[in-house]
């Protein structure tokens, strides 16, 4: 009898081995219970950079995406990338129901995500420059929510190192009150398929710290608050063609004085207070100074902000990789090394 039971045990083991599927992908974190908390994820995000003027651009000014850039970014010491995406472009999605995102474009974004994860980078996917939604919120809400349903469903089995950001810089007719409603609606859609994925929530009125006055934060433990910072604006945007009157600001410098540093700290008082009250981690999703500012001032401003953000336990993503604010010239394959150092290695400067 014992011999028979032993043989049956062996046969059962062999049967299980023959029917196993070693080629199947690893189970998603949701299945294994390995999702980290929002605060842990924010620590892991650490230093990041935006792949700007690429997938959020219109065809006339879009920079090509080079997957090799992700290895370059990782090798420099960055730990995440933010990938701004304009999902509403006519060649990418339908403007009428059912608002389908083209499968080819979804695969394009998936390839970028896969390469980032291969390079051990966290990656943030957002919805960027949704101009139709800003101009006509009520008319575009169904499309906005449908697109998030599709994005969330497509990436639901990805690890927790992929994050979603609901919308970049809400403004225009997407008022602060409407933004609170639309953000909560989008979060509910995302949570149907991604109940524990970290989601970044930005502010109305162009995503700045001023938008915190009206922001209502949903009761969700897996949220990260994200804000953008470009102050003093006449310094960071001097000579920028899209900012009216900016040529008059050329020559504006930033010296890192006690007064200049204190202005930054004052700007972030509300952020720090709210983060403490709501127990929510903070990500600075954009900050940068345009290339027409003098390089010494750009380095001083960038270095101070990067180190000060870290002192506050903020994660951050510099704007941007390889265009007007960038640290890398893709034509000559050269770095603006002083800016690279300011971001990833320079210590906080003494006064």
82 has which bridge partners? 50, 124
Is residue 169 annotated as a catalytic residue, yes or no?
A: yes
Annotated catalytic residue within 169, 184, 266, 320: 169
**Three-state secondary-structure class, residue 109:** helix
**Three-state secondary-structure class, residue 158:** coil
122 has which bridge partners? 80
Question: H or E segment at 230?
Answer: none
Annotated catalytic residue within 88, 165, 286, 320: 286
Is residue 277 annotated as a catalytic residue, yes or no?
A: no
Say if residue 58 is exposed, middle or buried (CB neighbours under 10 Å; 0-12, 13-18, 19+): exposed
- Residues with a catalytic annotation lie at 169, 286
């Amino acid at each position: 009898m014992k011999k028979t039971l032993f043989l049956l045990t062996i046969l059962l083991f062999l049967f299980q081995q023959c029917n196993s599927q070693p080629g199947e992908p690893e189970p998603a974190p949701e299945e294994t219970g390995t999702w980290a908390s929002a605060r842990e994820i924010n620590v892991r995000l650490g230093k990041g950079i935006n792949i700007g003027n690429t997938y959020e651009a219109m065809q006339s000014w879009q920079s090509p995406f080079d997957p090799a850039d992700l290895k370059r970014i990782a090798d420099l010491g960055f730990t995440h990338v933010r990938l701004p995406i304009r999902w509403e472009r006519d060649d990418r999605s339908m403007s009428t129901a059912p608002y389908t995102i083209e499968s080819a474009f979804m695969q394009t974004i998936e390839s970028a995500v896969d390469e980032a994860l291969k390079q051990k980078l966290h990656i943030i996917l957002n919805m960027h420059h949704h101009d139709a939604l800003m101009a006509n919120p009520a008319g575009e809400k169904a499309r906005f929510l449908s697109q998030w349903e599709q994005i969330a469903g497509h990436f639901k089995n990805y690890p927790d190192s992929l994050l979603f950001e609901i919308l970049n810089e809400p403004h225009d007719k997407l008022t602060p009150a409407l933004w609170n409603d639309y953000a909560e609606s989008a979060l509910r859609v995302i949570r149907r398929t991604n109940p524990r994925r970290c989601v970044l929530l930005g502010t109305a009125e162009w995503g700045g710290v001023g938008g915190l006055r009206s922001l209502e934060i949903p009761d969700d433990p897996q949220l990260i608050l994200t804000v953008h910072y470009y102050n003093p604006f006449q310094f960071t945007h001097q000579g920028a063609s899209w900012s009216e009157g900016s040529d008059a600001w050329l020559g504006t410098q930033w010296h890192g004085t006690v007064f200049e540093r204190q202005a930054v700290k004052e700007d972030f008082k509300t952020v720090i207070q709210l983060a403490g009250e709501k127990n929510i981690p903070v990500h600075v999703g954009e900050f940068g100074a345009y290339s027409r500012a003098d390089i010494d001032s750009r380095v001083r401003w960038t270095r101070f902000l990067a180190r000060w953000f870290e002192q506050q336990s903020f994660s951050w993503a510099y704007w941007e990789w390889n265009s007007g604010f960038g640290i890398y010239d893709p034509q000559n394959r050269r770095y603006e090394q002083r800016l690279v150092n300011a971001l990833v290695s320079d210590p906080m400067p003494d006064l």
